[in-house]
Amino acid sequence: MTTHEQVSLTSGADFWNTQAPAGTGLPAIMLTDGPHGLRKQRTDAGYAMESVPATCFPTASALAATWDVELLEEVGVALGAEARSEDVSVLLGPGANIKRSALCGRNFEYFSEDPFLSSRMAAAWIRGVQSAGVGASLKHFAVNNQEFRRYSVDALVDDRALREIYLASFEHAVVAARPATVMAAYNRVNGTHCAEHRFLLTDILRDAWGFDGLVVSDWGAVTRRSTCLEAGLDLEMPGYGGRGDDAVLEAVRTGELSAAALDRAAESVRRLIERTAPARTAEKGYDHAAHHTLARRAAQAGTVLLTNDGVLPIGSTERIAVIGEFAKQPRYQGAGSSGINPHRVDDAWTDLTEQVGADRLSYAPGYVRGSGRTEPALLDEARRVAGAADVAVVFAGLPDSYETEGVDRANLDLPAGHDALIAAVAEACPRVVVVLANGAPVTMPWHDDVAAILEGYLGGQASGSAVARVLIGDAEPGGRLAETFPLRVTDNPVHVWPAGPAQVEYRESVYVGYRYYDAADVDVRYPFGHGLSYTTFDWTELEIIEVENDDASEQRFDVSVRVTNTGDRPGSDVVQVYVRDVESTVFRPDQELAGFTKVHLVPGESRRVTVQLDRRAFAFWDTTVDDWSIESGDFEIRVGASSRDIRTSATVTLESDRTGFAPGPAGYHGSPVFDRDAFAELYGRPLPDNVVDAPGHYTVDTPLADIRHPAATLLTTVMRRKVAAMIPATDEDDPLSLLFARSLQELPPRMMTMLSQGAVTPEATQAFVDICNGGLLRGTRKLVSALRRK
Ligand code: BGC
């Protein structure tokens, strides 16, 4: 391969395809979204985001709530088959970012607040997809936990949190499932862009975890391709048909980009093309109906019965009032790049009608679907319908515009209209069931007034029929929460983005999710791992066997318990194993999930289930030696049905493989650049006083709206017009309009390269920034020479 051919391989031909340099004989391959379905844009779709029909499976929140690795793998197999059928070689998923805050607008696309669970789910998904010959793209690597300033925010995270929480969520998925690709995130970590983060992309991913696949950038995450390639990135996406190659060739010529790095990147692309080749010639087509049935099964398995006074399942003669527009037009997925154009969408109303007959059902809309607002007449009608039934089922949740990529939620509330509706129905009918459609926790002011709550999450295209059948007991609610539901938003340690616009300090360190709530002894609405069943289970005979091994580092404990279905219905239970370091010289969470297994049992059936714990289950990241360490002593192994429902426990003793422990303070660095006025104007609140104000020191990362310079104002106006011409008029209930509007506010100059499809080079962008920083002459000279070079 010539150097030129190598360079061409390192960026895409367009939004979704790689290049096919003539001399190489390599074909172009397509990479596309992901994660819970295939979003292959029609070529003429532009920003309309219209894509070919595909199965919309439950989103990651719901999939994680299944706690079922086999099921995740099955879903992965189906996703792989759909991608293969559409000639897509890489499916952009799964998303393994940790739910650091319940407010992250993209939480519906992520699995859990716990890295053990998240990485196991991701691994299963990857195994499934890749068994079809299609590559997965584990994203967004790394520490990408908010949408606020998503293109540029700098996540300042200490070493222990980085390793134990944020990287751990990717680690097992990389090591055990070997994804074909990993996607470098938009944000920075401790000062450096993920796409040019040598420590993340090379030291950790390749050297420590043995990753041998391809690292692709998130779309537009590359600032300067040669710098990224040198750090460990292989493929810049999207690409612009070779625009930008000259600058990379120049970097090769000057030695700034080493031949070794370019070889590695080009070779990674070549290997990806080759490893996915068999899938491109495989037979096309897949069984839509079978995938729909699988989507329904997955939705049911991820439906969490939060509380139930016995009203569920609904009896076979009861009259059911169905209330809420979501019953007829379900909300089943989130907005943004993961939005699927589904083959079909089941709704609960139609399915209930088919299952129990129209004469047992009545309906009231309750609120307006788009906005979630209600009005007195809608409430009166709902009261009337509910009052005449034996049981009232309210379909509530979050409207589309509340959960979208690019925009974090402001609070955990349902729309006031939904809360008012539930309260009104509860006045009229003593037996109210609330079915929730949302991708992340919500608060429940009406909690104590209802008889049962089913958390259906965003359950994909079959969520309507899935929930309908759970309600009437044709299927069980198989889910357990993969995240904590706090009582109030302020109970969550991360309920605002406190560090100002450019940086976010992960001050809570390892105390994320239940690790925080447990350590701080904060009451929660529903704990991590929680979920009820229609049947009952008995857990007995805890047994812990140390499995001998000559190599001490291979020490293992087999933790087993006998689970018996003592009820009269088939059902599944999730055995969760937590480890607690009884005595420790370092800060450690009270307990951490170290293993789990899901067991399906018919009435009367009994089975011994085993969870294996290796030494890592007891370790913490030791900053004194830059490695995992175990302190000698006792560890409690706690076996529970949730983090707050420990059923049985026992103690084991481990020996450390090190002598001394004196972890030093973990440091972080970074230099803030803030503009007080711009911040206040944009976000409607003042910049915190402790944030250093340094206007004038703009970088290619400073959001355009923050740059106080006529050149930036001009550019913003031009871009606003361009975007306005591309997308329909803004409607506040339309999530995509929100995403685009927010993106416009937050776009940093470097994204101009992507928006102009490469016409604005990184050099031209830097020159523009220099001008804004006051270097009119120098900047203009640079700009002219960048334009000439093009
Ligand atoms: C998202 C990725 C997605 C990519 C391509 C980005 O904006 O962050 O998750 O895969 O776009 O659509």
Phi, psi of 669 (to 5 degrees): -140, 180
- Domains and their CATH numbers in the chain: 3-279 (3.20.20.300), 297-483 (3.40.50.1700), 537-654 (2.60.40.10), 662-789 (no CATH)
| Mean pLDDT, residues 783-788 taken together | 78
- For the purposes of burial, counting CB atoms within 10 Å of the CB of 492, is it exposed (0-12), middle (13-18) or buried (19 or more)? buried
Mean pLDDT score, 374-385: 98
Ligand 1 midpoint to CA 144 (Å): 12
Residue 88 Cα to ligand 1 middle (Å): 16
Task: Assign 686 a pLDDT band (cuts: 50, 70, 90).
Answer: low
What's the 417 CA to ligand 1 centre distance in angstroms? 32
Looking at the DSSP bridge assignments, the partners of residue 39 are 33
Token duo for residue 468: 């309908």
Burial class (CB in 10 A: 0-12, 13-18, 19+), 36: buried
pLDDT digits (tens, 9 = 90+) for 231-246: 999 999 999 889 999 9
The C-alpha R_g of the chain, in whole angstroms, comes to: 26
According to DSSP, the residues that pair with 754 across neighbouring strands are: none
**Active-site residue, selected from the candidate residues 33, 154, 158, 218:** 218
Confidence of residue 678 (pLDDT cuts 50, 70, 90): low
Which residue's CA lies nearest to atom 4 of ligand 1? 219
- Copy the structure tokens of residue 567: 């009820």
Statement: residue 597 has pLDDT above 50: yes
DSSP string, 272-308: HHHHTHHHHHSPP---HHHHHHHHHHHHHHT-EEEEE
Check whether the bond before 397 is cis (ω within 30° of 0).
no
For residue 185, the ligand 1 atom closest to its alpha carbon is 8
Can you give the pLDDT at residue 673? 37
Mutation pick for ligand 1 pocket among 337, 338, 407 (CB with most ligand atoms within 8 Å): 337
Nearest CA to ligand 1 atom 9: 337
Torsion of the alpha carbons at 337, 342, 348 and 352, rounded to the nearest 10: -160
Q: How far, in Å, from the CA of 550 to the mean position of ligand 1?
A: 46
CA distances from 755 to 690, 723, 751, 761 (A): 35, 10, 6, 11
What separation in angstroms does the CA of 330 have from each of 51, 53, 397, 461, 723? 20, 18, 10, 9, 30
SS3 sequence, 442-461? CCCCCHHHCCEEEECCCCCC
| Residue for token pair 């911040």 | 679
Best residue for ligand 1 mutational test, from 146, 149, 219, 222 (most atoms within 8 Å of Cβ): 219
Q: Which atom of ligand 1 is nearest to the CA of 140?
A: 9
- 427: nearest Cα among 365, 477, 380: 380
Strand partners, 537: 565
Give the residue, out of 33, 39, 742, with the most ligand 1 atoms within 8 A of its beta carbon, to mutate for a pocket test.
33
Question: Does 679 have pLDDT greater than 70?
Answer: no
Kindly report the protein residue whose alpha carbon is nearest to atom 7 of ligand 1.
219
Site residues for ligand 1, CB cut-off 6 Å: 33-34, 92, 139, 218-219, 337
pLDDT at 715 over 70: yes
Q: Whose CA is nearest to atom 11 of ligand 1?
A: 219
Give the mean model confidence (pLDDT) for residues 203-228: 97
Three-class SS string for 215-250?
EEECCCCCCCHHHHHHHCCCEECCCCCCCCHHHHHH
State the average pLDDT over residues 498-510.
81
What distance, in Å, lies between the first and last C-alpha atoms of the chain?
24
Please tell me the residue having the least CA distance from ligand 1 atom 6.
219
User: How far, in Å, is the centroid of ligand 1 from the Cα of 186?
Assistant: 9
Q: Is the pLDDT of residue 730 over 60?
A: yes
pLDDT at 718 exceeding the cut of 90: no
Q: Cα–Cα distance between 279 and 274 in angstroms, integer?
A: 10
Which tens digits make up the pLDDT trace of 525-578? 999 999 999 999 999 999 999 998 888 778 899 999 999 999 999 999 999 999
Mean pLDDT of the residues in the chain: 91
Q: Please give the helix or strand (H or E) that residue 396 lies within, else none.
A: strand 391-397
Taking residues 213-228, what's their average pLDDT?
97
Whether 694 has a pLDDT exceeding 80, the answer reads no
Find, among 562, 561, 647, 565, the residue nearest to 600 by Cα.
565
Q: d(Cα 147, Cα 131) in Å, to the nearest integer?
A: 32
What pLDDT does 135 receive?
A: 98
Backbone angles phi, psi at 144, to 5 degrees: -110, 90
Can you say how many angstroms the Cα of residue 347 is from the centroid of all Cα atoms in its chain? 25
* pLDDT higher than threshold 90 for residue 211: yes
Q: Write phi, then psi, for 178 (nearest 5 degrees).
A: 45, 70
Q: Answer yes or no: 207 catalytic.
A: no
DSSP 3-state of 42: coil
Question: Ligand 1 centre and the CA of 219: distance in Å?
Answer: 6
Q: Which of ligand 1's atoms lies nearest the C-alpha of 109?
A: 9
pLDDT tens digits along 627-673: 999 988 999 999 999 999 999 999 999 988 764 333 322 222 222 33
Contacts of 72 (CB under 8 A, 6+ apart): 63, 66, 121, 124, 125, 128
Closest CA to 376 of 417, 413, 414: 417
Residue minimizing CA distance to atom 2 of ligand 1? 218
Helix 115-131 with 69-85: angle, nearest 10 deg: 40
Q: How far is residue 690 from each of residues 313, 499, 500, 676, 693, measured CA to CA in Å?
A: 54, 9, 9, 11, 9
Q: What is the pLDDT at residue 483?
A: 98
pLDDT at residue number 426: 98
pLDDT exceeds 90 at position 593? yes
pLDDT for the residue numbered 497:
67
The mean pLDDT of 408-420, rounded to a whole number, is 97
Higher per-residue confidence, 166 vs 627: 166
Q: Is the pLDDT of residue 446 over 70?
A: yes
Q: How high is the pLDDT of residue 752?
A: 84
The CA 306 to ligand 1 mean position distance, Å, reads: 32
Structure tokens belonging to residue 474: 């044709």
Stretch (H or E) spanning 322: strand 320-323
Relative to the CA of 93, which ligand 1 atom is closest?
A: 10
Span 732-738, average pLDDT: 79
